[in-house]
Structure 1
């Protein structure tokens, strides 16, 4: 049961520092605590944990313009951050982690501004059918977080310039461009500021949990550990991942997300496999990429490898079936 709720705001605009603090806070949330972390990144494309950086982002243009590429721990798709966007993260232990309740905080905050929003699809919050908040989720052991964007006056021209969204994904949303999928809250409320948005989020947080909001204790922040985590997020290896030559590649879009599957074979067995996807579920992807190398290149052997990987829910079962069929097309 949550007995204390805290807020903390980052005064830094560097994505690696902010993501390092986010990961650090995840481990700091006590058994009876929930933390709301607010932060902003300057000119950044953030890709999901299992996405291919080069396919999701025009990295050369972004870096030439002084921007940042960042890879987060959670799944989902690529998003653009600038100072016209406010990011939020709810951090709690598993026993207190409630995505619906946390989403209600964002919906209530927008309502306090006089706007009506709703949750849409697998992870969006929309107004008039247009997204202003994309959400993603991560957990490890007993520690969990739920984070997302709030577009206030984000530069949609830069968003479209740096994001490389597949035609299949746009068509699945019934739109022609990245820009037509999203809306800035300032389009509906021109006087909205980041400071006002932060205030209503904190008010809604207190109201939904029925507790006073307290500043997160500064003495619980360990600068050295936060910097170490930030350095890991800034590393080339984490941002871009290892690239190897593959003998076969295939891509498809499913109801749960897009996927690009690539494998390398050696001696009649799968020697390397990478699965790029914007699926929100990261655990199944990790399990598959660890289990399949060494498997014989036969449908029977691959099917047996898939059977050994447990599906924790209906979504994972559906993903397993789709991925097994997709891999089968390469055999």
Structure 2
């Protein structure tokens, strides 16, 4: 039985480290990882960033965007949110046991806590039940992990700010898994107390003494870069945006009617209609937009076409309409 405490605050390093320790899980053993990250938004494996978060606001504020390998919903991380990953072999893996460990830790700090039907952990407050921990899972042929957030002293204003998309969900038809919005609360437990008591309850539940390993950021870097392929994938446009399932949207403004189908971050089909724009130009512009990656740099380049001058006013309105779907590159996107 092992406990690994990761001192890196880099979400990509942390997710890569989680994957490495999961794949190297020793036989007849189990692992608990404890870690946190600088401000970031982390999506589930099958989610759509355009309808899960405020992409432009995050980019401006330096909030990273990541996609994990497990399912589940989109979450916000910062230094006031702890992440825990329970790793075990399938024959002994039990997510209810993992939740019991977290609930016991919360109860020792005065909270009345329980596990919801979605495997989240909630606490009872005077304002009603509020979520303090969300869960996601990954299962391989012989092993599984359950990772969970725990709101200690997170910035809930930022959580609510970044997890609200600028694109209205009602305008989008998508096959992606959508997050279930819940009222949340901080537990107001210190990081030191939470880690101490979580480890204690993990050992009590499994009736043994854990071997504790603390990883410095330098050690995490060294470990992850032994095989950097997965880290590079985690930071890539292809993974973060290009793994988005098919979605369709219909836009109408200032005479424009636009129907777009998007898959893997690329426009698959687009139909443009405007009574005051020549059909030939509409067809040409539709052809230009089709197969275009939703990177804002691509949109800027295409709207410098000479033909756009003829319909400059209408074209600028179209560009403004489309711009919400085109992402200006985050610093980390390859």
TM-score (norm 1): 0.65
* 2:90 corresponds to 1:88: no
1:104 maps to 100
- Kept in 2: contact 1:48–1:75 (CA 8 A): yes
1:7 maps to 3
1:44 maps to 40
1:123 maps to 119
- Kept in 2: contact 1:21–1:226 (CA 8 A): no
* 2:145 corresponds to 1:151: no
Residue-by-residue CA offset, 1:99-136 (whole Å, 9 max, x unaligned): 11111111111122232210012121000110000011
SS in 2 for 1:185: coil
SS in 1 for 2:31: strand
- Kept in 2: contact 1:13–1:40 (CA 8 A): yes
- Greater C-alpha Rg: 2
Taking the TM superposition and a 5 Å limit, the aligned residue runs for 1:1-331 are 5-128=1-124, 129-164=129-164, 181-186=183-188, 192-216=189-213, 222-225=223-226, 227-241=228-242
| Matches of 1:185 and 1:217, distance apart in 2 | 24
Q: Deviation above 3 Å: which 4+ runs of structure 1?
A: 165-168, 216-223, 225-228, 242-246
- Kept in 1: contact 2:5–2:213 (CA 8 A): no
- How many residues get paired? 235
| Matches of 1:214 and 1:8, distance apart in 2 | 8
Change (3 A) 1:39 1:227: farther
Unaligned regions of 5+ residues in structure 2, if any? 171-179, 251-260, 269-334
Displacement of 1:211 after TM fit? 0.6
Change (3 A) 1:164 1:214: same
Displacement of 1:232 after TM fit? 1.6
TM-score (norm 2): 0.64
Change (3 A) 1:57 1:207: same
Change (3 A) 1:136 1:208: same
| Matches of 2:27 and 2:63, distance apart in 1 | 37
| Matches of 1:244 and 1:88, distance apart in 2 | 28
Unaligned regions of 5+ residues in structure 1, if any? 169-176, 187-191, 251-261, 265-271, 273-331
Structure ranking higher in helix proportion: 1
Change (3 A) 1:211 1:54: same
| Matches of 1:83 and 1:217, distance apart in 2 | 17
Displacement of 1:155 after TM fit? 0.6
Displacement of 1:244 after TM fit? 9.3
